[in-house]
Amino acid sequence: MSGNSGSNQMWGGRFAAGPSAIMREINASIPFDKALWRQDIAASKAHVDMLATQGIVAEDDARLIAGGLDQVAAEYEANGVPENWDLEDIHMTTESRLAELIGPAAGRLHTARSRNDQVATDFRLWVRDAIDQVDSGLLALQTALVTRAGEHAASIMPGFTHLQTAQPVTLGHHLMAYYEMIARDRSRFADARARMNRSPLGAAALAGTGFPIDRFRTAQALGFDGPTDNSLDSVSDRDFALDYLMAAAQCSLHLSRLAEEFIIWASQPFGFVTLPDSLSTGSSIMPQKKNPDAAELVRGHSGRIVGCLTALMITMKGLPLAYSKDMQDDKPPVFEAASLLALSIAAMAGMVAEAKFRTDRMRGAAELGYATATDLADWLVRQANIPFREAHHITGSAVKLAESRGIALDQLPLEDLKAIDARIDERVYAALSVEASVAARSSHGGTAPAEVRKRVAQAREALGIEE
């Protein structure tokens, strides 16, 4: 076998050209970083404006460059970003097209900057935009939760621990628990946005530049609070991307928990909810099936989003200062997580808004789950002065009797209750209904309908929702 044949066989298939073909493909980021084109154009326009203001680039050249960048942006908007792997990335792709349009003046655009600070700036701008978009989606989800909670402030359902009936709560109270989770998610994204809102532009390759640039001007033009303060950190920092992914991962866990609730509630044994047709599918073989596919995919997407966070954390864990090519792999996990999170938020907002809650089934489950057993024990302690452990035993006997007859606790005749313990009298019935149980939980943050309505009103005010 000849040496050439052996070489070709070694590289094989699409890499028949040898190592150079592999390097060309592994080095090119344009297939994914083309998503940064809007941010790349905006940062370039801010940069060239500053160069002209500082007298580093002639005004005529700056105007020519700015006009050319607008033309490139219009082409990208209309036709998408071309993928020429020889140009490697969005920065070189844009600069190459700019040179075709305006000639040698395009080369002045890259004065006093590097692709290192350029991509760090573009990526920050993209993540900042992604945070604004996710916040808008989470606001819509909160609005749906608050609206439905207001409708069901007094709708009784079982409250669970260990997925076993524990005490009665209201559906409105249950939905407002997710409102609180999403509020924390929004605060995490807001914190991440505030922390990352500094501009790396002007840090150049790693050490800054000798040109008399004004980094405060470009930071202000791009909506940053100011420039970053260390050039080495500026080009190598990806904490902002990790902050975003950590907030996204936590948010996806909340969405997954909510999705799981709907999956369980929609199952026939529960029958608590009928999901909207638009977010469900049928079975190819079983005509009676209505599958909660959207909720299941939200549950599945959470695993992928957590995986995106893990991927970037591992990529960054051992990198020395400053920039390393490993960091080219920072964008795919962020882009993937952002796409999955947006879909998940939209799906759950639609599900909450359009689901039909079967409150009769919920109430029946609360009664037959003997959710007021704790109320009976509490009544025995308060009214009959019975030690709690003894009251607990008496209550267990009452539950066993009601269960054997298939009735709720408050449907047991008084004589049967007195046969269990003579100290029980007719006053007990005021504590045994599920309505009485939830009404009694009126402590701050409790499930009493009045307390739920108060919290819904506060949430409406906070979100700017009119009655």
Q: Where in the sequence numbering do the catalytic residues fall?
A: 162, 283
Question: Rounded to whole angstroms, how far apart are CA atoms 68 and 273?
Answer: 56
Distances (CA, A) of 398 to 343, 368, 371: 48, 13, 13
Residue 65 and residue 106 in contact, taking contact as beta carbons nearer than 8 Å: yes
Token digits of residue 409: 């606790």
Please name the helix (run of DSSP H) or strand (run of DSSP E) that holds residue 206, with its range, or none: none
CA angle 75, 81, 86 (to 5 degrees): 125
Question: Rounded to whole angstroms, how far apart are CA atoms 192 and 241?
Answer: 9
For CA atoms 98, 100, 103, 108, the dihedral sign is positive
Please name the helix (run of DSSP H) or strand (run of DSSP E) that holds residue 274, with its range, or none: strand 273-274
Question: Rounded to whole angstroms, how far apart are CA atoms 196 and 98?
Answer: 30
Question: Rounded to whole angstroms, how far apart are CA atoms 123 and 331?
Answer: 8
Three-state secondary-structure class, residue 320: coil
Contacts made by residues 148-151, CB under 8 angstroms, sequence distance 24+ = 148/172, 148/175, 148/352, 148/353, 148/355, 148/357, 149/173, 149/175, 149/176, 149/179, 149/452, 149/456, 149/459, 150/453, 150/456, 150/460
Residue 416 and residue 407 in contact, taking contact as beta carbons nearer than 8 Å: no
